[in-house]
Amino acid sequence: MLSDTSIRKAKPGDKPVKLADEKGLYLLIQPSGAKLWRQKYRFEGKEKLLAHGSYPEISLSEARSRRDEARTLLARGIDPAENRKAQKAARADRAANSFEVICREWLEKKRGEVASSTYAKMLARMENFVFPWLGDKPIGEVGAPAVLAVLRRVDENGARHTAHKVRSEISMAFRYAIATGRAERDPCPDLRGAIPSPKTEHMAAITSPKEAAELLRAIDAFRGTFVVRCALRLAPMLFVRPGELRKAEWSGFDLDKGEWRYLVTKTKTEHLVPLAPQAVAILRELQALTGTRPYVFPGRDPQKPMSDAAINAALRRMGYDTQREITGHGFRAMARTILHEELHIKPEVIEHQLAHRVPDTLGTAYNRTKFLRERRAMMQTWADYLDKLRSGADVVQLRDSA
């Protein structure tokens, strides 16, 4: 029988040397000096060989333990080498079907469907809140209790809204796994109500004509870069989503027709924004500076749009609290409220211009040309109304207090 002392003292030769232990186990010493554990055994009349690692990574006692496990399998009529192959294949299959692997596949698919910032946030939520606990589990073995434990951990950290986002994204990953034949059901519907609904938080917005007038005058007095000033002047007039404004490309504009066409990133639908002459005048002035570049509002790198923080940073420089008073997104709420309550524009026309999904009687979720005549008139009325607010003219409130 071998001992640790004899193994350590054993020297390599010009040819491989075998040092026998017992019950088929031996140490193979290569000319290179490598010391490898091997076990000879017979199965169904054939001599076979099983590797048990190398010394000293695998100690003598560990090698003997592995030999005995192999002999136990033989006694049960199982080929240890084939058993090892099957276990390795099973581990590979489990790894290939782990929650993290499948979820990353789904995220990669979503990358081309959502804004880059949205993809980055989804990936960060998974890496921070989900993968450490569910990542290495086969997706078919991830049940409602395991998902709930993840959600509660996020919720208990005071991030209830994030917990609901995570639940939705886990559910989408499961639906992708079902569609690709690697899971049978989504456990997330079983968890409805398990995490209380988050309190609704509305984006900060100014919705009274008086405050809107003060904001418009503050924008006129803003002394930032010309590009940011133009974006600030257009934001209340066009009331598109902030990301859509800052990523606007000249290729989508027809200033002669007074139109801007682009793809809404949130709904993947084509949208048309009628441009009042006031908006066209601002864009023509800006075109002289940035018209040869892809983006209407380029950032420091002329091949990229301006930062998503630029508008909010400008509002803060103007003295506005972007947590409680107004944000770049708040211009949409300002337009929606004042157009309806002060100018009596029909809600469906406003919602269509906001590019919201509002099904019509035919079941169409969105049609970029719907209400186009009314929307053109509305955008002109809105631009004129903003001019009057900015100049301090008396704007008659069309509704009484009732």
Active-site residue, from 26, 320, 366, 385: 366
Active-site residue, from 48, 175, 266, 388: 266
C-alpha 172/C-alpha 110 separation (Å) is: 10
Q: What tens-digit pLDDT sequence spans the chain (402 residues)? A: 899 999 999 999 999 999 999 999 999 999 999 999 999 999 988 999 999 999 999 999 999 999 999 999 999 999 999 888 888 766 766 667 899 999 999 999 998 888 888 899 999 999 999 999 999 999 989 999 999 999 999 999 888 999 999 999 999 999 999 999 989 999 999 999 999 987 655 567 899 999 999 999 999 999 999 999 999 999 999 999 999 999 999 999 999 999 999 998 777 789 999 999 999 999 999 999 999 999 999 999 999 999 989 999 999 999 999 888 899 999 999 999 999 999 999 999 999 999 886 655 444 445 667 899 999 999 999 999 999 999 986 554 443 333
CB 249 within 8 Å of CB 306: no
- Amino acid identity, residue 380? Q
CB 131 within 8 Å of CB 100: yes
Nearest-10 crossing angle of helices 99-111, 116-125: 170
Pairing mode, strands 35-43 and 25-29: antiparallel
Active-site residue, from 35, 125, 332, 336: 332
Domain 209-391: give its CATH code. Answer: 1.10.443.10
Active-site residue, from 241, 247, 271, 352: 241
Domain spans, the chain: 4-86, 99-191, 209-391
Domain 99-191: give its CATH code. Answer: 1.10.150.130
> Whole-angstrom distance between the N-terminal and C-terminal Cα of the chain?
101
pTM (two decimals): 0.56
Domains 99-191 and 209-391 share a fold: no
C-alpha 305/C-alpha 42 separation (Å) is: 70
The reply to whether 38 belongs to the active site is no
The reply to whether 366 belongs to the active site is yes
Domain 4-86 has CATH 3.30.160.390: yes
C-alpha 20/C-alpha 38 separation (Å) is: 10
Active-site residue, from 64, 329, 352, 390: 329
The reply to whether 356 belongs to the active site is yes
Four-point Cα dihedral 359, 365, 369, 374, nearest 10: 30
